[in-house]
Structure 1
Amino acid sequence: MKWSIIGITTALFSFTALAETCTTESIYDHFDELRKSSVAYAVSLEKVDDSTTHHYIAWYNATEVAGSEVSYVLNDDRIGLQSKKLAATAKPNIISDTFVPQILFDRNMNDEWELQFFAGKQVAQNNEDIITIKSNDEVEEKLTKILKCDATGLQYLYIDTWASYWTLYKSKLAELNAAEVAKAAISGSKLWDKYYYKSRYMYPWEKAFSLVMSENELNDGKFKLPPKYQYFLLRPWAALEYVENADDGSQFKGTITFEWVGINKWNGCFGSDIACGVSLVSTYSDRAGADDFGHGVMLHVANKYSFGVTSRDSKAGFFVTVDLLKAFNDKEDEVKYWVEKVDKYLP
């Protein structure tokens, strides 16, 4: 079975596109303009000058755009109207220590999620200033369309991020830094733990290869989350392979596998939590009645199991294998490696 360079590249990039699902970082990035304008307005409020009004107008415009979108996603026009009304009262010449318009997203006494629009330090009391949020399939469909990735189960994070970034303008500079780092660290630490424990084992040269392939992702100036994809290169292992039409006694045997190049979306594919990946592979085993070498495709599932199909002089081979290398992986060494490598990208 022959593979051209163009075919290899097309296959890998097609897999990457199909496997895309929303992440926590996807939500944060989506509201990045609102976050930036809130931070800029907050910084300008530390020392009010001629630029403060400019930053307020930029923040107001960002809240209007984001509020309209949230209204559309949740199919509730009140949200956009309340957001716009509240933002109009957050002018630099109006707000004070006791009058700070803000939006909160939290659970009420009935364990229902609700948005609270209020000013000052007193929680809103009027019914029109409290909107109960209900999720459904239509909300997820709209959110998936807007984010251009599978947003299943992320609607509450989407609303919470919007409300948090809307209200970020009221924070002091030190609080801004602490809040952003804390939110990123909580999300990041959970993902890094999952990456260390759940992702597919990588040989040292594959870690270096993955680092190179993920350089743009790591070099974006933000809190560092684990790479979305694992990349494999020149990877040896073993499997059990069945080759049809081989001589009796040689059909089902152990085989050496060699992955030339591959990719794995370790944190879930196609809207699920099940990881999946693909590699171009060759296998070798001494068989009577069939070529010793086979070439084909290897699929990875759940970071543990792999199966594939090969061709040996027009004879099909089918193989399965389990990634036992992860059991021997030392988390401490893994953490040390990524900390050292990722650290150079931090500002």
Structure 2
Amino acid sequence: MRIGDQSHENTHYESSISKERITFKNKAWDNYFFASRSQTFIDIAVNTWYYRDEIKNDKLVMPPEVQFFVAHPSLILHYVEGAPDGDQVKEGLAIEWLGFNFWNWRVPFGASAITTYSDLNEVQDSGYGLMFHVANKYSLGMTRNGDENTIVLTIDLLKLFESKESNYKAYLKKAKKYF
């Protein structure tokens, strides 16, 4: 074997390793966009900003381990035991003012500080509290509406309308600011 042949083998080996890393990271990002909670453009901007140092260091970064949420809207079902019969369950809106989600844990888990609004009878319409996220799809919360404790339930409906491709492009666009 000549010295030049060994150099060619090393280059081929390094190229093969690079392809495997790229493939692995692409699959990780596909999993992130498919399995994690939905994200609004604000969430994407916050997460990109938060992980900016990591993005600067390596162009082939892995997806974040934790998602952060700011001003994230959700449609909810609001249960109020103290409301009159027939008016105990109402649809409404929740805003997650600040939250996190460990999207890739064996059992994904997160939490958010929320404000809710529902057209409730004989109970204050707006409330504040905490919402817990499980399995990247389901959220259960508890709020305080005036003198009443309430329960909030939602599923990640935004995920139905989310475009993996547009989220990926949004991450790239934001990340380019840091390169």
Distance in 2, matches of 1:328 and 1:288, equals 32
Residue 122 (structure 2) aligned to one of 276, 281, 289: 289
Residue 137 (structure 2) aligned to one of 294, 301, 304: 304
Q: Which moved more, 1:295-304 or 1:218-227?
A: 218-227
Distance in 2, matches of 1:177 and 1:301, equals 40
Note the C-alpha offset of 1:193. 0.8
How big is the alpha-carbon RMSD for the aligned residues of Structure 1 and Structure 2? Answer: 2.2
Distance in 2, matches of 1:249 and 1:243, equals 11
Q: Which residue type is aligned with residue 232 of structure 1?
A: F
Alignment of 1:187 onto 2:24: yes
Higher strand share: 2
* Runs ≥4 residues deviating over 4 A: 343-346
TM-score by length of 2: 0.85
Q: Is the 8 A contact 1:276 1:302 kept in 2?
A: yes
Identity of aligned residues (%): 35
Note the C-alpha offset of 1:234. 0.8
Q: Is the 8 A contact 1:305 1:322 kept in 2?
A: yes
Q: Is the 8 A contact 2:52 2:175 kept in 1?
A: no
Higher helix share: 1
Q: Which moved more, 1:243-252 or 1:257-266?
A: 243-252
Distance in 1, matches of 2:160 and 2:89, equals 26
TM-score by length of 1: 0.46
Note the C-alpha offset of 1:222. 6.0
Q: Which residue type is aligned with residue 170 of structure 2?
A: Y
Distance in 2, matches of 1:259 and 1:344, equals 27
Q: State the match for 2:96 in structure 1.
A: 259
Q: State the match for 1:219 in structure 2.
A: 56
Q: Which residue type is aligned with residue 285 of structure 1?
A: S
Distance in 2, matches of 1:324 and 1:287, equals 22
Residue 206 (structure 1) aligned to one of 43, 52, 56: 43
Distance in 1, matches of 2:56 and 2:16, equals 22
Alignment of 1:317 onto 2:150: yes
Distance in 2, matches of 1:299 and 1:285, equals 19
Q: Is the 8 A contact 2:70 2:97 kept in 1?
A: yes
Larger radius of gyration: 1
Note the C-alpha offset of 1:336. 2.1
Q: Which moved more, 1:199-208 or 1:332-341?
A: 332-341
Higher RCO structure (Cα 8 Å, ≥6 apart): 2
Q: Is the 8 A contact 2:45 2:174 kept in 1?
A: no
In structure 2, runs of 5+ residues without a counterpart are none
